[in-house]
Structure formats: structure tokens, C-alpha cells
């Protein structure tokens, strides 16, 4: 599925109702109106993420994730006019057009659904600061063993998902802006 095959209400940049906790209204068209340098930065970071992920094994996924996160963060802040992650995340999740578009893509695009599943299989994601401050080190563990090890030491991992929207993350933004693999 490409951006051209998305429902017109997503492509054209609707303003979603401000029913998030912050009251932010998402307007996808704000990205199209963004100054050239902002476009260059957001698309540049996102392109780095996409290209770095081509040959990426899960254990090497930090850089592509961070590159994508920077681009996604910029795009989401632009569309919601909210700078705090939790504010723009709530605003995006409260946007019915994004939620319905995400659901439609999950059902219609097997590659997209696989990317979402693969991303969510890496949850929870732990903050590197917590590992450093807690001097928590574990070598030679599988991902499942590592998660149990971190949780047993009191770390709180982040699961970037509500029931529908937050899992869209990077693959969703990829489709909304026309970037495809």
C-alpha cells in the first residue's frame, strides 16, 4: 500500500478532533506546510532509519530505531503542535482518521502488518539511562531472558502501543509520507 492508496481523508491532511488529554488537534497537512529545512530534517532522519533497517538484525536495531524516532518525533510534533512525546502520542491516538487508516493498513497490507508485529515483538524497550545508572549488565542472554532479567531488577520497560495507534509508529509514518521499502 502506498500513500496514494490511503483513504483521501488521511492523504489530504484532516484536522482530527482535540479529544486527547492535552486537547491537541492533529492536522496532517501541517507537515506539508512545514518550512523546507524542517522537511529536509524529518525526511532525512526517517530515510536513514529505513535504509539502516534493510540489513538490520534485531540486536542491531538501535540506530535505525533512533533515526526513525527522531524523524517520527519531528513529524508528530509538527502535525500536533505538541512537543512532549506523551502529548503528541495521545493526540495521534485520539485521531479517528489515523486509527481507521492504521486498522485498514493492518488488514490490507501483509508487509505492513509484519513490520508492526516485528516491531512490537521487541517490546518492552528499556531506557539506556536506567541500565547505566543501575549498573545493570547482562551478557549472553536471549531477548526473553534479558527482559526477565531487567524486570526482576525493577526496570520499567516501555510498550509503545495502545490497542490501535501507537503500534503504527514508524511504518505508519513511512506510508503517510510516501516512503516505502
pLDDT digits (tens, 9 = 90+) for 126-162: 777 777 777 777 788 887 888 888 888 888 776 554 4
pLDDT confidence tier of residue 22, bands split at 50, 70 and 90: low
pLDDT at 81 over 70: yes
Interatomic CA distance for residues 32 and 29, integer angstroms: 5
Q: Over 70: is that where the pLDDT of 177 sits?
A: no
Q: Which of 123, 131, 134 is nearest to 158 (CA)?
A: 123
Q: Tell me the per-residue pLDDT of 24-78, one tens digit each, with 9 for 90 and over.
A: 788 888 998 999 999 999 999 989 988 887 777 777 778 888 898 899 999 999 9
CA dihedral for 80, 85, 87, 89, sign (positive or negative): positive
Amino acid at each position: 500500500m502506498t500513500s496514494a492508496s490511503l483513504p483521501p481523508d488521511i492523504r489530504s491532511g484532516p484536522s482530527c478532533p482535540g479529544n486527547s488529554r492535552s486537547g491537541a488537534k492533529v492536522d496532517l497537512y501541517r507537515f506539508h506546510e512545514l518550512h523546507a529545512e524542517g522537511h529536509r530534517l524529518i525526511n532525512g532522519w526517517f530515510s536513514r532509519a529505513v535504509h539502516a533497517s534493510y540489513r538490520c538484525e534485531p540486536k542491531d536495531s538501535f540506530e535505525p530505531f533512533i533515526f526513525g524516532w527522531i524523524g517520527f518525533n519531528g513529524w508528530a510534533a509538527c502535525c500536533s503542535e505538541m512537543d512532549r512525546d506523551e502529548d503528541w502520542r495521545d493526540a495521534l491516538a485520539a485521531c479517528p482518521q489515523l486509527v481507521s487508516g492504521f486498522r485498514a493498513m493492518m488488514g490490507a497490507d501483509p508487509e505492513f502488518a509484519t513490520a508492526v508485529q516485528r516491531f512490537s515483538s521487541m517490546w518492552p524497550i528499556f531506557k539506556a539511562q536506567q541500565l547505566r545508572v543501575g549498573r545493570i549488565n547482562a551478557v549472553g542472554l536471549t531477548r526473553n531472558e534479558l527482559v526477565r532479567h531487567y524486570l526482576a531488577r525493577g526496570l520499567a520497560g516501555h510498550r509503545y502501543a495502545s490497542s490501535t495507534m501507537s503500534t503504527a509508529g514508524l511504518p505508519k509514518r513511512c506510508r503517510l509520507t510516501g516512503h516505502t521499502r
